[in-house]
Amino acid sequence: MSAFQSLPGSNDITRLSLPNNITLLVRSNFNSPSFSLGGYFESGSLFDSNEKLGLADFATTALMRGTHQRSFEEIYDALEAVGAHLGFSAGTHTSGFSGRALVEDLPLVLELLADCLQNPSYPAEEIERLRAQLLTGLSIRAQDTGDMASLAFDKIIYGNHPYARPDDGYPETVRAITRDDIVAFQKRCFGPKGMTIAVVGAVEADFVFEQAAQTLGDWHNPGQPTLPTLPTVVPLTETVRQHIALSGKSQTDLMIGALGPERKATEFTAASLGNSILGQFGMMGRIGDVVREQSGLAYHASSSLSAGVGPGTWDVNAGVNPANVDRAVQLILDEIRLFIQHGVTREELQDSQDNFIGRLPLSMESNAGVASSLLNIERHGLGLDYYRNYEQMVRAVTPEMVQATAQKYLNPDVMAITSSGP
């Protein structure tokens, strides 16, 4: 069997729906006695008000601090007793969860998942302890040059769009959140609508369905809101530059970029391959070669492409000596200009295609890697055979397609440029 035939596909992924329409994705792997579980539910920062931004993150992070059936200590004792893991995280559109254990403990992990989602007690003492931890994290963020450049970059790129807001909020908004806010948010926004669970390991689909139906199949929330419709992002019409001054820093972090494609966009694969050549492949691509290797201006310099349900960003980030910021900015813009004017060579493209194709099977060597991949194809509607068709799709990209995509999204004369440092 070839590496790509061993990847998940429609013949070995079972897709089921619970009575309340929670989607289950199951793939059996009997090479180990364990399983990995992952999933998401429609409850993210899109539901937060500006005044209490960070509420979804707070409510989700606090889920395991106690339920009406179990205390904080009892939840973790139950997991540690069998060497299992369960955790939650919040995002913009959805919040997520992940877990792992031996197969015999799948019922326990699903029971704890259901209990935390449906019956959190949000003990007042734990809420205040968690609030202190969240505020400490925000204080650390405020002194991180990379984080501050990124926050400023998102504000410039997205303007009044919800994507401009950090999911974890600001100190003043986290302080404004009350326990009553958290309880009300969980009751209103947590529910089975749009929920997906992937389970990969030494399990049969029927067994997973049975256990999930017992623990989550009767969960209902008639008032659960649907995800709000996102406004259109208005692209920049001129370069906007901003510096966030932080005293006592020896490095300036720099971001330069623009709006990128959505994950489901037809040109996403061409953009991904182009991004690899621009600032990822080898020693961080062309950007790394020119800015770091040849000119010695940066401690690190690379590009990234973020894409999700809505438009992401295509950007370059670098950590530079504060004295070299302007020169580094000019070198990066010059390299982007060459990239869109002259495109990529067939050799560069083939190297990146080989890299994409070669690393895909490696990303699915673990049950957790496969579970994450199943959630990816479900979230973006890519189809169950997406990974089986991946090599053909990547090989179909031509240098002309990469150049056309770069010209569509990158304009060195219209960029967001942010920096943070002394």
Q: Tens digits of per-residue pLDDT, 377-417? A: 999 999 999 999 999 999 999 999 999 999 999 999 999 99
Average pLDDT over residues 245-259: 95
Maximum distance among all Cα pairs of the chain, rounded to whole angstroms: 63
> Has residue 232 been placed in a domain?
no
Sign of the C-alpha dihedral, residues 356, 358, 363, 367? positive
Sign of the C-alpha dihedral, residues 26, 27, 33, 34? negative
Q: pLDDT by residue (tens digit) across 336-371?
A: 999 999 999 999 999 999 999 999 999 999 999 999
> Has residue 87 been placed in a domain?
yes
Whether residue 123 sits in one domain with residue 55: yes
Side-chain half-sphere CA neighbours of 225 within 13 A: 16
Q: Identify the domain boundary among 216, 250, 266.
A: 216
Whether residue 211 sits in one domain with residue 261: no
2-16, 32-46, 346-360: least confidently modelled range: 2-16
Radius of gyration over alpha carbons of the chain, in Å?
Answer: 23
Q: Report helix, strand or coil for 257.
A: strand
Whether residue 201 sits in one domain with residue 113: yes
> Has residue 162 been placed in a domain?
yes
The single-letter code of the amino acid at 215 is T
List beta partners, residue 35.
101, 201
> Has residue 118 been placed in a domain?
yes
Could you give the number of structural domains in the chain?
2
Whether residue 204 sits in one domain with residue 58: yes
Question: How many Cβ atoms are within 10 Å of 80's Cβ, its own excluded?
Answer: 10
Side-chain half-sphere CA neighbours of 356 within 13 A: 26
Whether residue 154 sits in one domain with residue 39: yes
> Has residue 161 been placed in a domain?
yes
Whether residue 295 sits in one domain with residue 186: no
Domain ranges, residue 254: 240-421
- Kindly list the strands in the beta sheet with 298-306, ordered across the sheet, starting from the edge strand earlier in the chain: 240-245, 416-421, 252-259, 313-320, 298-306
Among 406, 150, 109, which Cα is nearest to 286's? 406
> Has residue 235 been placed in a domain?
no
Q: Report helix, strand or coil for 419.
A: strand
- The whole-number pLDDT of residue 5 equals 57
Question: How many Cβ atoms are within 10 Å of 68's Cβ, its own excluded?
Answer: 9
Whether residue 268 sits in one domain with residue 206: no
Whether residue 298 sits in one domain with residue 186: no
Whether residue 247 sits in one domain with residue 200: no
